[in-house]
Amino acid sequence: MASDSSDDLDSLDETYEWNDNTDIDEEHISSSSAGYANRNLALRLKKEFGEGTNAIDRPRRGAARVTNYYAATPVKKSSTAHVSAIRPSTSQSSASDELQNYGSVDCWNPRLNPRWARRLAEERRPHSFKDPFIPTADDVRRWRAEFAKDPPRPYRGPYTDFDGNIRKGLSGKGKQPAGQTMRDSGYLGASNIRMSANGHNGHSNNIVEEYLSPADIFCDDFQAFKARSDAEKQEIIRREAEEYAMEKPKGYSVSFHYNPHVEYHHFGSSHPMKPWRLTLTKQLIMAYGLEYTMDLYEPRPASFEELAIFHDREYLSFLSHVTPQNMKPDDQSYLAFGFGGESNDCPVFDGLWNYVSLYSGASMHAAQNLLNNQSDIAINWSGGLHHARKGVASGFCYVNDIVLAIQHLLTQHQRVLYIDIDVHHGDGVEYAFESTDRVFTLSYHKFGIDRTGYPFFPGTGNINEMGPTDPANRGKGHTLNIPIDDGIDDDQYKWLFKTVTGAVVDKYQPNAIVLQSGADSLGGDRLGRFNLNIKAHGFCVETVKGYNRPLLLIGGGGYTPRNVARTWCHETAVCVGASLHNDLPTHIPYIQAFQGEENGGGILYPDLHNTKRHDNLNNVGQLQKLVEQALENLRYLEGAPSVVVNTRGITEEQLMRIREEVEREMEDDRDDRMHLSVEKNRRTRERNVGGRGERGLR
């Protein structure tokens, strides 16, 4: 990533926060990069701070509660959708009213606008995601002048299309015909509708459009592609997939689980987590023709009861009801559930319940595919939110889809290995399974003091943290943490990962593996501290794939959206055994996200070593010592009591078949005993016919 002043994506994403000691006065506003002088950004700031634009005052967008979604079936088959949408009746202000509010001079004055005052009083919290770039007084004056000359369009909430598509596309009127591919059925858009004139399926993601400049010089080829008919577009992509031999792998199957509605949620303009990174990921995967190499599924959202398998019901009830309109920051339950606080890592936004249900449902459905032997590798890039606890939101994570998926796998598999390559410690998953020997958690992450002087979030995961210390606890020794310092490079990380992971697999012998592939361990990530390139990150996926276990591959962190998309597209190709050409296809929607020197130069594998490089604080001696300590920790891993010791070479499938046969025999035996009991009673009654009782009646 180049400097923030030249980075269209990241400069628009920066946090507009004030220094702790700044007075409420324009003259004391700290300096910032010039990259904020952008019409879309001005619109965002006016929406964020302007009078009359508070989320509490705006009509509620995206707050519809959706129930009884279509069943999770392959998209190529027809499916019936049943939706009950409940939306409050609110009046929406006109465009002229919004523009009048945006243009108010008072909304730009920190003395007169209470929202700015609240932000000035906010203190920096340890592990906060806030960035130190702050707009200057000159920036504010320039934005006013630009606004006066060229007012931006009225703000359209990101959930306008979301709700409309649910009503139109999922109401049952627009059922997709059998035999369609995901591309035909609207997989690239927001709902099950055909490719529209905007060049890709369904409605465009207006959240992405707000964050990307038009960049017409990069969009000429896509504009020509857009002008073609649907059949011509499909044929172009099919020919390209054929040219590069995009076909399903032989000997194993890969499935892709994704509900496109998940990308239409928005944490807020200043928040690093951008669900629209999934839009870029999806478009890259489809543009390369990888859809022809996998089974594609559009899973249903998880239900309340399914989420309650792990999470507290009271916490889930809170998630299902809280909105920006009814939240009470001073409420004790609000704070107890991990919301609010000094940095508000987990904000309340419109559609929050839909969001957590969608990504969790996809992970659970992917796990089910593995259990049904429909897939050998199942992918859900929308999942991987590893910090959420049983009843607390944490680190941008509300529901822990990983725990739910692993619990699903444990219904058939005796041992599951969880591997986490996110730059942050996978604490939520570790704590969820700390008292069982059926799950082994292995996490590679940054550990230590960060550049602000605070422990790097979440502040846990040292090498000596091996789970419970009580010898009677079955989970003792079933945790291995690999703490890494700033700036680790490709070769160091690859050696470390292969050495330690291989030892864990040999020792633990898992029946299935879950790999959390957080992309914030890439070089140049907005919140990360490593120097990994895309192929080095993908090496981890390739290594785990080589263990030939059922593999659930999920997303996670990643806060430079263009590089997240590149990485997950590459790792999808790794799963299916495909090689991708370096030049990005020109017919990708939002191609401007990847063009320009500061955005990677329009190629799939830019050198991330040249972007925001961190000093490498890891040397060979330190890493060797770390590996020795990790292998020493593995010595304490004994044979798990709950694990069946297979001394006869019986496969897992044979064991399951034997178990089913035994259960059937037991059921038949119960039926026989019931039948014998009934027969005995019948014979007893027959022997009593004509006995004393009856003779007395003659």
Residues classed as catalytic: 425
Alpha helices in 124-265 (DSSP H): 137-149, 159-169, 206-211, 216-226, 230-243
- Dist. CA 298–CA 293, nearest whole Å: 16
Give CA 301 to chain center in angstroms. 14
- Dist. CA 488–CA 448, nearest whole Å: 14
- Dist. CA 467–CA 536, nearest whole Å: 29
Buried b (16+ CB within 10 A) or exposed e, 504-536: bbeebbbbbbbbbbbbbbbbbbbbbbbbbbbbb
For the sheet containing 73-74, what is the strand order?
A: 73-74, 295-298, 254-257, 377-380, 551-554, 512-516, 416-420, 439-446, 479-484
Contact 157, 58 (CB under 8 A): yes
User: From the CB of residue 330, how many other CB atoms can be counted at a distance below 10 Å?
Assistant: 7
Q: Provide the 3-class DSSP secondary structure of residue 565.
A: helix
Tokens standing for 148? Answer: 């006066």
CA distances for 196 relative to 184, 185, 199, 200, 204, angstroms: 10, 11, 6, 6, 9
- Dist. CA 48–CA 145, nearest whole Å: 18
Buried b (16+ CB within 10 A) or exposed e, 632-645: ebbeebeebeeeee
In degrees to the nearest 10, what's the CA dihedral of 347, 348, 352, 353? 120
Q: Where are the beta strands (DSSP E) in 406-469?
A: 416-420, 439-446
Residue 128: which of 452, 461, 349 has the closest Cα?
452
Contact 460, 427 (CB under 8 A): yes
Q: What is the rounded radius of gyration, in angstroms, for the C-alpha atoms of the chain?
A: 28
CB-side neighbour CA atoms (13 Å) of 369? 30
CA distances for 651 relative to 204, 336, 655, angstroms: 48, 46, 6
Kind of pairing, strands 73-74 and 295-298? antiparallel
